[in-house]
Amino acid sequence: MSLQTDSKRIIRWGLINFYRNTVVSIASILMMTVTLTVIGITIFLNAVLGFSLVQMQSKVDVNVYFYPKVSESQIMDVKDMLKNLPEVASVEYVTEDQALADFRARHSSDYLTLQALDELGTNPLGATLNIRAKEAGQYESIAKTLDNNSSLTSGSSPIIEKVNYAQNKEIIGRLTTIMHSVKTLGFAITLFFIFISLLITFNTIRLAIYMARDEIANMRMVGAENKYIQGPFMIEGLVYGLVSSVITLVLFYPLTLWLTKTTQAFFGGLSLLQYYGDNFLQFFAILVVSGVLLGMISAWFAIRKYLRK
């Protein structure tokens, strides 16, 4: 008998088992749909938290304050040096005049401060470089580079008055910890629900196998090969995974549509519906592959004891 004929027979009996065991099939699909939904929600949760952390990270920076009257060419040299660091995402130059204007805007309601500034008659503020790192954990390395760079002097005098990394260090440290915790938590949650799914699907398919135990015993007695016994249940598990993943993908559309306004209001414009649409192929691949693997692996473990001679 050819391989093609064998495959067709195995697939046909797998589909027959799927339709014949209607109650068990529905139970398996429902259980797997719940599990795949939770896996999908975990992906959405990671996306929401990741988006929020990126928003938070974009508001954290390190500022380099130069002494007044430091020449612009010296500041540009420092800027070029920083831009060449692999940790640095961007460097913004704020002139002395812009620094003064920003200071006045921040203290627009503080009359005494503005009056004292006017009495000075000169601009007491130097230019500033605002540095954004690619990752929150890289600010310390940038600050150390500035501290250890012997070229940041004019003659024997330093040109940098202050680097405010120490003031932001606690905030940056907390942000870094949160980012690592979110990644670890998301991975742990995903593994947990994969285990639960395997357990549930295994027991559900084992029930279907138990119901067919007499048929399996007869097949063993007449010398049927393992592939004819195991194959149909593997196909049955595959169908459970396919149907469950399609149902889950369909359910996510109204769910993301319903939650979009909430996420846009609370998470700085993040649209779950748009995220789902933009990453649909990724969701499709993850859920279909997860469903098929969970169904087939569960079926493989469940039928093993019936294959022992």
What are the pLDDT digits (tens) for 181-206? Answer: 777 877 787 778 777 767 776 776 67
Domains with residue ranges and CATH for the chain? 3-56+175-307 (no CATH), 60-165 (3.30.70.3040)
Report pTM. 0.60
283-300, pLDDT tens digit by residue?
889 888 888 888 787 777
| Nearest by Cα to 232 from 16, 5, 3 | 16
Tokens found for residue 256: 């993301």
Section 258-277 average pLDDT:
76
| Mean pLDDT within 212-237 | 69
Greatest mean pLDDT among 26-30, 112-116, 249-253, 260-264 lies in: 249-253
Nearest alpha carbon to residue 285 among 32, 39, 30, 48: 39
Residue 150 has pLDDT above 60, yes or no: no
CA atoms within 13 A on the CB side of 118: 9
pLDDT at 147: 75
If residue 56 lies in a helix (H) or strand (E), which one and from where to where? helix 22-58
* Contact indicator for 39, 194 with CB cutoff of 8 Å: yes
Q: pLDDT band for position 122 (50/70/90)?
A: confident
pLDDT for the residue numbered 1 = 46
Q: Over the chain, what is the mean pLDDT?
A: 76
Cα 266 from Cα 263, distance rounded (Å): 5
Instruction: With a cut of 80, say whether residue 274 has pLDDT above it.
Output: yes
Residues 6+ apart with CB under 8 A from 242: 288, 291, 292
Looking at residue 142, its pLDDT comes to: 83
Structure confidence at residue 17 as a pLDDT band (50, 70, 90):
low
Tell me the mean pLDDT in the region 126-132: 86
